[in-house]
């Protein structure tokens, strides 16, 4: 009797140790392997398996002892059979034994129940038939099954949480916005790849440092917002504060960023942690500043002709003056000129509005380039004065192009106007045309002040004007090159600039030929003759350096050595 008692005590102690070992595990495969090994040993079995029920209601094998993995599918029908259907279970057991070639004569099944829900079953198989368990041993086995169910549920829950964390970490890491997480002391605990690229800080250096040191958002006056007006320390607390300002990155860039915060607070309102989404909005900031500048510039541009018109009209309408015919004629001429200038500026604004709303509408036809170039020069030669010499390098027999004539004239006029405007000392303004495959390349070159490399990539933006000494002295709203690019690209072409400060600029654009020419060809330059209305125009020898046969990407053209074209 005492020996029987000692055996039960050892079994219970063994079960306690096993239960502790099982519940200490959180890795699901490790828990399942340990459970099935112990179950086979406790039930004096030869082999066994654990089947768990998935969220879709299907029960499948997750771990086994003494059974090769390739044999697991053979148990599918057995797992689908209710445990209270003894005849069916016996038949399924015989079928499985025959399929895998093993003597499976007896099976014990321990349901794994957690919170009144069956999450799976432990199956233990034996070759012997006469295995009986006492009531105490059955109680011991059920206690083991309950502990195993708890361990399996905890491991599955941990696995689910781990998957969610890995998914969240992946979302944060691959977010297009910079993401960082702060602890209760405003120190960085998480710093994703986008934040590294945005700030220039490696995450291993950023983590553990204060947000105000790493991000350091400043006002335009240079004050560190994170130190003087931290959005997470405002009273009363804001639900999702937003901060915008400038940052200086570790690799020397200056960016304008927007940072949105979501704070977590304790029951008393104390700050616990926060997540910050940081976005580079430098381009939007520049666009906004350019639009503000545009409004200021266009207000001035429109006000000037209106003031002149009003002034001349009031002067000519005075009752106490007796103007002679010449004075009246000159005054009215000024009014007409300023009215035309005002109309041109208004048309430019309307063109931009139409372009943004409906795109560029084209009327395509075939026409020669040379007459258009002559017409543009005829218009600008008188106002350019004696400081400028215009050169046309377009052969008489240059092939016609297939494009919108009036819109292309607008492009060419914009480029020639800019060449004159940004050449304060005068010089040569050259218009050339040559062939490149099935396109014509038309270029306008000057000997003006040139364009810095950092400005060249911004030239074709809306409202953009080069920041130089002539900016305040010259008229313009920064729309000409924007419209020119839209017109050229709508016709299937490209426009780009080649410039060097102090050496002039060259603007080139492509137009499709009416009849494509096979291969790249350079048309010989012949003297086109001197139109009577253009005494300053002459044909020059073909000495201008050639660009690549295919128009390169914007700002990638080799620099000119003697001249170019200007915005």
pLDDT at 508 over 90: yes
Which residue, 107, 261, 80, 242, is CA-closest to 179? 261
Structure tokens at 134: 């006492």
pLDDT at 549 over 60: no
Helices within 254-324 (DSSP H only): 282-316
Cβ-Cβ contacts under 8 Å for 392 (sequence gap 6 or more): 370, 373, 374, 377, 430, 431, 528, 537, 539
Structural contact between residues 76 and 155, judged by C-beta atoms closer than 8 angstroms: no
Over 90: is that where the pLDDT of 126 sits?
no
Query: Exposed (0-12), middle (13-18) or buried (19+): which is 239, by Cβ within 10 Å?
Result: exposed
Q: Are 368 and 398 in contact (CB under 8 A)?
A: yes
Could you tell me the CA-to-CA distances from 138 to 110, 134, 530 in Å, in that order?
10, 6, 116
**Rounded CA separation 366/401 (Å):** 5
**What does the CA dihedral 49, 50, 56, 57 come to, rounded to 10 degrees?**
90
Residue 271: predicted pLDDT? 86
Report the 3 state secondary structure along 72-141: HHHHHHHHCCCCCCHHHHHHHHHHHHHHHCCCCCEEEEEEEEECCEEEEEEEEEECCCCCCCCHHHHHHH
- The pLDDT, as a whole number, for residue 346 is 76
| CB-based contacts of 54, cutoff 8 Å, min separation 6 | 60
Q: Which CATH number fits domain 285-358: 1.10.287.130, 1.10.3720.10, 1.10.40.60, 3.60.15.10?
A: 1.10.287.130
* Backbone angles phi and psi of 167, in degrees to 5: -65, -45
Per residue in 352-381, pLDDT (tens digit) is 666 655 666 788 999 999 999 999 999 888
Per 3-state DSSP, the chain is made up of helix, strand and coil in percentages (nearest 5) of: 40, 20, 35
* Complete DSSP assignment for 5-63: HHHHHHHHHHHHHHHHHHHT---HHHHHHHHHHHHHHHTT-SEEEEEEE-TTS-EEEEE
Q: In the predicted model, is pLDDT for residue 43 greater than 50?
A: yes
513 pairs with which residues across the strands?
A: 401
Residue-range domain boundaries for the chain? 2-170, 178-280, 285-358, 364-538
Assess whether pLDDT exceeds 70 at residue 228.
yes
Considering the four listed CATH numbers 1.10.3720.10, 3.40.718.10, 3.30.565.10, 3.20.20.70, the one that applies to the domain covering 364-538 is 3.30.565.10
Q: Give residue 563's pLDDT band: very low, low, confident or very high (50, 70, 90).
A: very low
Residue 395 has pLDDT above 80, yes or no: yes
Which superfamily is assigned to 178-280 in CATH? PAS domain (3.30.450.20)
pLDDT for 412: 94
Q: How far apart are CA 348 and CA 254, in angstroms?
A: 33
Nearest to 179 by CA among 195, 167, 168, 197: 195
Separation of alpha carbons 548 and 299, rounded Å: 42
Angle at 144 between CA 141 and CA 146, to 5 degrees: 115
Question: For the chain, how long is the longest CA-to-CA vector?
Answer: 144
pLDDT of residue 195: 92
pLDDT at 517 over 80: no
Could you give the CA distance from residue 208 to residue 224 in angstroms, rounded to a whole number? 19
* In the predicted structure, residue 505 carries a pLDDT above the cut 90: yes
**Res. 531: pLDDT tops 80:** no
CA gyration radius, the chain: 42
Q: Do residues 410 and 483 lie in contact, with contact meaning Cβ atoms separated by under 8 Å? A: yes
Lowest mean pLDDT among 97-111, 157-171, 225-239, 443-457: 225-239
pLDDT tens column, 400-429: 999 999 889 989 988 998 899 889 888 999
Q: How far is CA 44 from the centre of its chain?
A: 63
**pLDDT, mean of residues 14-27:** 67
- Give every CB contact of residue 400 below 8 A, 6+ residues apart in sequence: 366, 367, 368, 369, 513, 514, 515
Same fold yes or no, 2-170 and 178-280 = yes
In this structure, are residues 504 and 565 in contact, taking their beta carbons and an 8 Å threshold? yes
Contacts with 248 (C-beta within 8 Å, 6 or more apart), sequence order: 216, 218, 254
Asked if residue 562 has pLDDT above 80, the reply is no
- For residues 341 and 499, the model is more confident at 499
Helices 135-173 and 2-23 pack at an angle, to 10 degrees, of 10
Residue entry with tokens 């079953």: 121
Percentage of residues in the chain with pLDDT exceeding 90?
25
Cβ-proximal residues to 56 (8 Å cutoff; 6+ apart), any chain: none
Examine the pLDDT at 261 and tell me if it is beyond 70. Answer: yes
pLDDT of 73 reads 92
3-state SS record for 449-512: CCCCHHHHCCCCCCCCCCCCCCCCCCCCCCCHHHHHHHHHHHCCCCEEEEECCCCCEEEEEEEE
If we measure between CA atoms, which residue out of 102, 122, 147, 145 comes closest to residue 61? 122
Q: Are 544 and 393 in contact (CB under 8 A)?
A: yes
pLDDT tens profile 288-322: 776 665 666 566 567 767 888 888 888 888 888 88
Please give the pLDDT value at position 380: 87
Tokens of 84: 């209270």
Please name which of 103, 115, 104, 107 lies closest in space to residue 81, comparing C-alpha atoms.
107
Among the listed residues 54, 52, 82, the one whose alpha carbon sits nearest the alpha carbon of residue 64: 52
More confident residue, 521 or 62: 62
User: The domain 2-170 is classified under which CATH number: 3.30.160.150, 3.40.50.2300, 3.30.450.40, 3.30.360.10?
Assistant: 3.30.450.40
Nearest to 116 by CA among 83, 79, 153: 153
- What pLDDT does residue 188 have? 92
């Amino acid at each position: 009797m005492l020996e029987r008692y000692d055996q039960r005590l050892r079994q219970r102690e063994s079960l306690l140790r096993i239960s502790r070992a099982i519940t200490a595990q959180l890795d699901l495969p490790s828990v399942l392997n340990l459970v099935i090994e112990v179950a086979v040993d406790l039930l004096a079995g030869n082999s066994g398996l654990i089947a768990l029920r998935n969220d879709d209601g299907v029960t499948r094998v997750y771990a086994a002892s003494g059974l090769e993995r390739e044999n697991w599918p053979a148990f599918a029908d057995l797992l689908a059979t209710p445990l209270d259907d003894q005849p069916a279970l016996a038949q399924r057991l015989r079928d499985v034994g025959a399929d895998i070639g093993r003597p499976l004569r007896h099976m014990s099944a321990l349901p794994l129940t957690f919170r009144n829900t069956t999450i799976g079953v432990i199956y233990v198989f034996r070759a012997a038939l006469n295995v009986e368990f006492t009531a105490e041993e059955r109680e011991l086995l059920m206690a083991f099954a309950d502990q195993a169910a708890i361990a399996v549920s905890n491991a599955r829950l941990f696995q689910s949480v781990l998957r969610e964390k890995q998914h969240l970490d992946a979302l944060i890491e691959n977010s297009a916005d910079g993401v960082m997480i702060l602890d209760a002391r405003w120190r960085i605990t998480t710093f994703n790849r986008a934040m590294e690229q945005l700030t220039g800080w490696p995450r291993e250096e950023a983590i553990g440092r204060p947000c105000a040191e790493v991000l350091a958002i400043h006002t335009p006056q240079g004050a560190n917002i994170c130190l003087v007006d931290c959005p997470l320390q405002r009273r009363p607390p804001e639900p999702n504060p937003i901060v915008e300002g400038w940052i200086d990155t570790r690799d020397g860039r200056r960016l304008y960023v927007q940072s949105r915060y979501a704070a977590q607070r304790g029951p008393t309102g104390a700050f616990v942690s926060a997540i910050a989404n940081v976005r580079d909005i430098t381009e939007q900031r520049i666009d906004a500043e350019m639009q503000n500048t545009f409004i200021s510039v266009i207000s001035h541009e429109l006000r000037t002709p209106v003031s002149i018109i009003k002034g001349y009209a009031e002067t000519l309408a005075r009752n106490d003056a007796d103007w002679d015919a010449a004075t009246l004629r000159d005054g009215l001429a000024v009014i007409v000129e300023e009215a035309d200038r005002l109309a041109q500026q208004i048309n430019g604004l309307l063109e931009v509005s139409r372009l943004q709303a409906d795109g560029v509408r084209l009327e395509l036809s075939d026409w020669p380039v040379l007459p258009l170039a002559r017409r543009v020069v005829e218009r600008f030669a008188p106002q350019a004065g004696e400081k400028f010499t215009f050169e046309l390098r377009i052969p008489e027999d240059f092939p016609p192009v297939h494009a919108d004539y009036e819109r292309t004239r607008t492009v060419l006029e914009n480029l020639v106007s800019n060449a004159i405007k940004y050449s304060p000392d005068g010089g040569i303004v050259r218009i050339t045309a040559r062939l490149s495959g099935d396109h014509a390349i038309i270029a306008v070159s000057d000997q003006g002040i040139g364009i810095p490399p950092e400005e060249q990539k911004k030239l074709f933006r809306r409202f953009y004007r080069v920041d130089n000494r002539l900016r305040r002295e010259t008229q313009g709203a920064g729309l000409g090159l924007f419209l020119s690019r839209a017109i050229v690209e709508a016709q299937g072409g490209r426009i780009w600039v080649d410039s060097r400060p102090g050496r002039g600029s060259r603007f080139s654009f492509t137009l499709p030929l009416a009849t494509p020419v096979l291969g790249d060809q350079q048309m010989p330059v012949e003297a086109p003759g001197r139109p009577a209305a253009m005494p300053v125009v002459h044909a020059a020898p073909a000495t201008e350096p050639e660009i690549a046969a295919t128009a390169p990407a914007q700002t990638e053209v080799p620099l000119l050595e003697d001249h170019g074209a200007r915005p």
